[in-house]
Amino acid sequence: MQISRRSFLKLSGATTLSVMLADLGFDLSQASAQVRGFKIKSAKATPTICPYCSVGCGILIYNENGKLVNAEGDPDHPINQGSLCSKGAAVYQLHENERRLKKPLYRAPGSDKWEEKDWEWMIEKIAERAKKTRDANFTVKETVTVPQTGQAADIVVNRTEAIGCLGGAALDNEECYLLQKLMRGMGLVYIEHQARI
């Protein structure tokens, strides 16, 4: 960051004044809380849950005219009572980030470049490949030894070991329920969750 001589003097003056006021016993935290209050005064607050981990801290998202202006810990939330860890405190940049991907990217087998695709194309492609892999690697029956008799028997297993599923902390309860239901329906046995590993 470039600082001119003029802005350097202004900054030093402001810092010195703050230190002097603090030395004189003025509580500056209230003043800075008030300045922040002004910034979000006309913004609409929407409560949400931090997507990063299973602690599930509450966050207030502020938007003004459709634009995200602030995100901070929800003081009324029973889990975090207004506090956030460093990841949660940086949640603002999940939305306001020039590097954020807004469209699915696809890299064809053997290709060295990514292509933008729409969701419809992408979901179709994922479904097609998941089905193909599952069907080509599906086990209907397995021969096992029955412990009671010591004899071999064929049992129905209806499973595939060719696909694994890893859930993420950004999924809520209902999404996790639906996801595992779909995966078990397809015969997957390797079903894990990021918060458990």
Q: Is 167 in the site for ligand SF4 (CB under 6 A)?
A: no
Q: Quick one: which segment of 35-43, 84-92, 112-120, 174-182 binds ligand SF4 (CB under 6 A)?
A: 84-92
**159: Cα within 13 Å, side-chain hemisphere:** 11
Contact of 97 with 124, CB cutoff 8 Å: no
Helices and strands in the chain, H and E counts: 6, 8
Least distance to ligand SF4, CB of residue 145, Å: 46
CB of 160 closer than 8 Å to CB of 175: no
Residue nearest to ligand SF4 (CB): 88
Coil/strand/helix, residue 68: strand
Q: Which residue has the tokens 């015969």?
A: 187
Nearest residue (CB) to ligand SF4, 56 versus 167: 56
CA distance 188 to 196: 18
Q: Which of residues 133-152 bind ligand SF4 (CB under 6 A)?
A: none
Question: Judged by CB under 6 A, which stretch of 2-10, 50-58, 64-72, 127-135 contacts ligand SF4?
Answer: 50-58
| Sole window of 21-29, 46-54, 117-125, 187-195 interacting with ligand SF4 (rule: CB under 6 A) | 46-54
User: Can residue 88 be called a binding residue for ligand SF4 (CB under 6 A)?
Assistant: yes
* Per CB under 6 A, 57 contacts ligand SF4: yes
Integer CA distances (angstroms), 147 to 50, 142, 143, in order: 48, 15, 13
Binding site for ligand SF4 (CB under 6 A): 50, 52-53, 55-57, 80, 84-85, 87-88
